[in-house]
Chain A
Amino acid sequence: MSAANSVALTTAATIAVGPGTVVVLGVTSAIARALAGEFARRGHDLIVCARDSEETNAIACDLELRHGVRVVAKTFDAEAFETHAAFVDECVRDGNSSLEGVVLGFGFMEEQPVMQKDFAIARRTIDVNVNATISLCELFAAHLEPMRRGFIAGISSVAGDRGRQSNYIYGASKAAMTTYLQGLRNRLHPHGVHVITLKPGFVDTKMTWGLPLPGPLVASPERAARDMHDAIMRGKNVAYIPWFWRYIMLIIRAIPEWQFKKMKM
C-alpha cells in the first residue's frame, strides 16, 4: 500500500470535493450502494438512481436512516437514451444547484459464451457500458462545466486493460469506457471538473458470485467503495481498486501478444 500511496501523494493534487449532493447511478449494484454509503457517512446528500424502483427506494431509506442525510430515489434506465436529458435536468434541479459529482455505477455483464452466441446480449453490453455512459456523461458535463467544479467518477474495470478470451466483449465495452473517460478528463480539466476512472478487479458481487476465483484477490464491496472514495478525494485520474491490481495488470499488459494469444486467461 505504501508505495502506491506515496506515488499518489506526489503526483495527484487533492481536489476540493465540496459538501454538495452526489448522484449515484446504478445504486442497486453492491459497489455503488457501498460507495453511496461512503459519501453519505461524510454528510453528502444523495440522489440515488437505478431501474428497479422498489430496490432503489429501499436503498434510499437505508442510506437516509443510517447516515442522517437527505436521499432522493429516482428511477432511471441506462438503455432508455431518449429519457436521459430530462432525467439529468431533474437530477440537477433536485440537487438544488449544489451538485457535487456523479458516480457511474451501472453496468451490464453476461457470460462470454452467451454473448458470443447472442448478438442482442453483446449489443446490450455496449449499450449500457458505453453508449449510456457517453449519453449521460455529456449531459452531466454540460451542467458541471459552467459551475467550474465537481467530479465525474466512472466505474470501469481491469477487464478493459486487455482483451482475454474469457470476457472480451465485456472487456471491449470497458476499454471503450476507459478511453472515453480519458478524453472527457482531458476536455474538462481546464474547466475545473475532475474525471476519475475507477478500475476494480474482482469484487464480491453478483457478477462474481459462484465463479471459481482466488479468495485473497476478491475484495468486499465495502473495501472497494472505501478505496474508490479515497481515490476520488485524492483527485486521482485512474485508480485500480484495490491498489494491487495496478501491478497485476502491469504484468498482464506486458506479456507480448504472440505469447498472450496462446495463453488461457
Chain B
Amino acid sequence: MPEFSTQEIAGWGRWPRMKCAVFRPEKRRGIAEILEHGEQPTYIARGLGRSYGDVAVNPGGGVITTTRLNRMLTFDEMAGVLECEAGVSLAEILEVFVPRGWFLPVTPGTKFVTIGGAIAHDVHGKNHHVDGSFGQHVDQFTLLTPTGSVLVCSPSENAHVFWATIGGAGLTGFILTARIRLLRISSAYIRVDYRQCPNFDAVLSSIRETDNRYKYSVAWVDCIAKGKSLGRSVLMSGDHVDAESLPASHGDALSVPSRLQPGVPFDFPGFALNPLSIGLFNKLFYARHRTREGQIIDYNTYFYPLDAIHHWNRIYGKKGFTQYQATFPLSGVEGMRALLEKVSASGRASFLAVLKRMGPSSPGMLSHPIDGWTLTLDIPISRDLEPFLNDCDEIVVRHGGRLYMAKDAFTRAEVFAAMYPRLKEFQAVKQQLDPNQKLSSRLARRCGIVDGAIEP
C-alpha cells in the first residue's frame, strides 16, 4: 500500500489547517498507484502549497504532493516550448532558462508555484491585460484521470477537458506533463516607471491612460488611507529591457544578482500588526516610491518582491490570514470602490492591496480572470471575519464580480454558483471524467463544485 504521512496542512494563509493523509510519490506511475491502492475516499493534488486557502487541503482524505515529480523533459529551442512534469516550479524554470534567454509567458507574484498549480488556477500576472492567463500559453498536457486513463489534452484535442482542467482547481485529474511556450528575452531586467496616484480615481485613470503602453502593470494600493486619499496608490508599469539598451554596468544581461534571503523566523504576535504599524508602513511605502521613470531592476525585484522574505506569511501570526481577491467586470468598477471603502472603514488593516486592469477572459470554464479590474486584499483571520466577508461577497456578486479560488477560504456554494456561470458545464465534464467523485478538496465541497459535507 502506498505510504502516506498524516499531517496538519494549510494553504499559504495558514487557515484553515486540517489533518490530511499526505502522499508524495517519487515516480510518475506513483499517482495511479495511489489512486488504485491508497484507500482514501478522495484525493487532491498539491504543489508547493502557495494557494492561500483550502483548495489543496482535503481533510478526511488524501493529498498528493507533486513536488518530487519535477523532471524537465524536452525543450524545443526553435519554438521555445518546454515540456516538463507538473511538479516543476516556476523558480526552477527561471533558474535554468533565463540565462539562456527565455522567460515565463505569465507569472504570478511568487515563483514558488508548480506548473501543475499554475495550470489548475490558470494564474495571471502583471501582463494579463496584454497576454491573458497562464493557460493560454499551454500547448498541451497529459492528464491522468481518476479512472486511470491518460488523456492528451490541447485546444484541439480533448478540448473540453483541456478548458475544464485549466482553472479547474485539480478536480478533473492529475496533470502529469505539460508543454509551455516560453518568452524570448535578451536581458533579465525590467524598465519600470513609477507613478504616485493620490486617490482611487487618480489610479484608475492613470491605469486607463497608460496600460496600453506597457507589457506589465500593477498598482499597490494603501488601503488604510481614507476619505479624500482613499485608494492612494503607486502604479508600477514595466517592460523587458533589450540587452543593447542595458547600461554596461549590469554586466551579463541575462544574469541577475543573487539576493540575500532574509526570513521571518517566527510567528509575529497578534498585536504586531495594528492600524498604526500598518498605516506607518504604508505611508513609508508610498513616500519611497516617488514618481520616476526608467528605473532598471532585475526580474526578481520586479516580479517577486515578497519571495525575498522566506515565510513572510508568519507576520500575520499563528491565526493566519486570508487573501481576498475579487475581480469585477468593467461595469463593476463602483463595486470595487465600495469593497475598498468597506475594508478601509473596517480597520481590518491589510498591508497593501493590489489593483490591476485585466484583459479578455480566459476560455477556462472556472478560470477566474474576466475583462475588468481585480483588487486583492490581505485580511488577518479573526473570530468575526466570516460575516464581514459574506457582506463583501454580496458586493462582489451584485456588481457581477467573482473571487479567485487560489485565494479563497470562506465563500459559500450559492455565492460561488452566482460568480461562475459556467459551473454546470464544468460539472458535466467532471462527471464524465470522475463519475465516483474521487477528486475533491475542502474548497470543492465548500463551494458546491462536488458533493460532500464541509468540514468546520
Contacts and interface: CB of A to CB of B under 8 A. Distances in A.
Given A54-B28, A55-B27, A55-B28, A210 B4 contact: yes
A28 interface: yes
Nearest to A205: B26
Interface of B is mostly: loop
A65 B96 contact: yes
Interface in A164-202: none
Contacts of A206: 3, 24, 26
Contacts of A62: 70-73
Contacts, number: 41
A28 B26 contact: yes
Interface string B19-31: 0000010111100
Interface in B7-26: 24, 26
Contact of A54 (B3, B29, B74, B96): B29
Interface residues of B, number: 18
Contacts of B303: none
Contacts of B24: 206, 209
A158 interface: no
A61 B70 CA distance: 11
A61 B3 contact: no
A66 interface: yes
B177 to A, nearest CB: 9
Contact of B3 (A28, A58, A210): A210
Contacts of B3: 206, 209-210
Contact of A59 (B4, B29, B71): B71
A30 interface: yes
A205 B85 CA distance: 19
A205 B28 CA distance: 15
Interface string A27-42: 0101000000000000
A31 to B, nearest CB: 11
B5 interface: yes
Contacts of B29: 54
Contacts of A210: 3-6
A202 to B, nearest CB: 14
A138 interface: no
B72 A52 contact: no
Interface in B231-288: none
B27 A28 contact: yes
Interface of B: 3-6, 24, 26-29, 68, 70-75, 85, 96
Given A206-B24, A209-B24, 12 more contacts: A30-B26, A30-B68, A55-B28, A58-B28, A58-B73, A61-B74, A62-B71, A65-B96, A66-B72, A205-B26, A210-B3, A210-B6
Interface of A: 28, 30, 52, 54-55, 58-59, 61-62, 65-66, 205-206, 209-210
7 contacts: A28-B26, A55-B28, A58-B85, A62-B70, A62-B71, A209-B4, A209-B5
